[in-house]
Amino acid sequence: MKKVAILVDGGYVQKRISRVIGRPSTAEDIISLAISTLVQGEGLFRIYYYGCPPYDRVEVNPLSKERVDFNQTDVCQRQKHTQSALSQMEYFACRKGVVQFTGWKIRSGVIKELAGRTCNPTDLIPDITQKHVDMKIGLDVAWLASRQIVDRIILIAMIPISSPPSNSPSGRAYKSSWSRSIPILIAILWNTPTRSAPWTWKNRFR
């Protein structure tokens, strides 16, 4: 039986699942989706999940001057619960990046409205970014390829279908995998799953 490693871009997968099923994704949803990429004759080596811990600090809205405790938000508590549940599952490894608050930005849906009115505190949303996730994916791909302990790597992420750029850390890692004859399947969630028609994949083998 062929051994397969599944690499999951947590931010992309959670948003895509939630958009389809109409509710926040759970740890069970993520596991079920990852396992569904395996085909007959393949066995799971490990699932690698990449994401950042939720932002849980206190910031001040620059317009209302109110303190916003992100640790008390439903999104933060839900993310903590999901990541904790995933980290305790068998054959599962969590790779955490770094989350950073860079300030406040105007909601995209109200930018045009501001031509005729002043900006309100509710028009602002936190600008939160994540770092080092792509680097960690690249490192794991390189490690799996160099040790040749799996026969295939499945990457569930929102990345171009064309070959990754060679000047990026992940691009060099992917090329290292291909040079060792370990195929990478890039699985992009392509349609709405139903009981009769599960997720389909936009695939690329190398």
Lowest mean pLDDT among 77-91, 124-138, 154-168: 154-168
Domains and CATH numbers, the chain: 2-98+130-202 (3.40.50)
User: Residue 156: beta bridge partners?
Assistant: 8, 187
Task: Note the helical H segments in the chain.
Answer: 10-21, 27-35, 74-87, 133-147, 169-179
Q: Does the pLDDT value for residue 148 go beyond 90?
A: no
Look up residue 112 and give its DSSP letter: G
Q: Does the pLDDT value for residue 26 go beyond 50?
A: yes
Encoded amino acid at 201, one letter = W
Q: Does the pLDDT value for residue 165 go beyond 50?
A: no
pLDDT of res. 203 = 45
Cβ(148)–Cβ(170) under 8 Å?
no
Query: With a threshold of 0.85, does the pTM exceed it?
Result: no
The 3-state DSSP class for residue 71 equals: helix
The 3-state DSSP class for residue 5 equals: strand
Lowest mean pLDDT among 37-51, 138-152, 174-188: 174-188
Residue with tokens 């791909």: 141
